[in-house]
Amino acid sequence: MRKKKNQSKIIVLYGAMAVDKLTVGKVLAKKLGYKLTHNHLINDLVWSVFKRNTLESNRIVEKLRYEFYETAAKFGNSLVITHCYAHDYNSPTGLSDPQYLKTLERRLEKAGAKVLFVHLQAKKKTLLKRVKVASRKKYRKLTDVSIMRDFLKAKDFTTSAPVNNNLVIDNTNLSPKKTAETIIKYFCEK
């Protein structure tokens, strides 16, 4: 008789740039023993060949994300995933952020995963401070305060995705460790 594989557990941290998704994700993954993937792993691979934010690059990024995460779930891998999310963002392919996360949820659940979404939020002043943190350069993330200010004016980062099992945390005054502990407590109660 074949040994039953463990159920994959996937936590999707989403929200604005500089809301500490990756920092919280590192703490969370370490505490839970999960693997950590973040936006830029797949993006950087695709952007090394295709121009950023073009129809072609976005098509490939979207396809790779779905396939990668779904396959990881099918093989019982537990993950922490980060995703930069604006409720009114539409990719050049026409895929909106709400549609992306809803489809991701459906595909991961179909693959047998237990999925938790965490919408991280912080006050504008905090985001503008965090966007300048030197560690963001390592991942070629946005570090320009004026561009960040423009994004915060133009896009809706506060409306949550239309997904089930969604936890909203304002981490303006929370350390990454405290934020991770809040997620773990919520997740373990589910």
Look at residue 145 and tell me if it is in a domain. no
Distance in angstroms (rounded) separating the CA atoms of residues 137 and 179: 23
pLDDT of residue 1: 40
2 band by pLDDT with thresholds 50, 70 and 90: very low
User: Residues 3-36: pLDDT tens digits?
Assistant: 446 899 999 999 999 999 999 999 999 999 999 9
Number of structural domains, the chain? 1
User: Domain for residue 23, yes or no?
Assistant: yes
For residue 20, the 8-state DSSP code is S
| Cβ contact 56:167 at 8 Å | no
CA distance 120 to 138: 22
With contact defined as beta carbons under 8 Å apart, do 10 and 114 qualify? yes
Query: In sequence order, what are the beta bridge partners of 168?
Result: 119
- Each residue's pLDDT tens digit, 77-123: 999 999 999 999 999 999 999 999 999 999 999 999 999 999 999 99
Q: For 33-88, how does the pLDDT look when each residue is reduced to its tens digit (9 = 90+)?
A: 999 998 888 998 999 999 998 999 999 999 999 999 999 999 999 999 999 999 99
- Domain presence at residue 182: yes
What pLDDT does 190 receive? Answer: 61
**Would you say residue 66 lies in a domain?**
yes
pTM: 0.93
Query: Does any domain span residue 37?
Result: yes
Domain residue limits at 110: 9-123+157-189
CATH code of the domain containing 34:
3.40.50.300
Burial of 115-146, coded b for 16+ CB within 10 Å and e otherwise, reads bbbbbbbbeeebbbebbeeeebeeeebebeee
| 3 state SS of 80 | strand
- The two structure tokens encoding residue 189: 């109660």
Q: Render pLDDT for 153-176 as a digit per residue (tens, 0 to 9).
A: 999 999 999 999 999 999 999 999
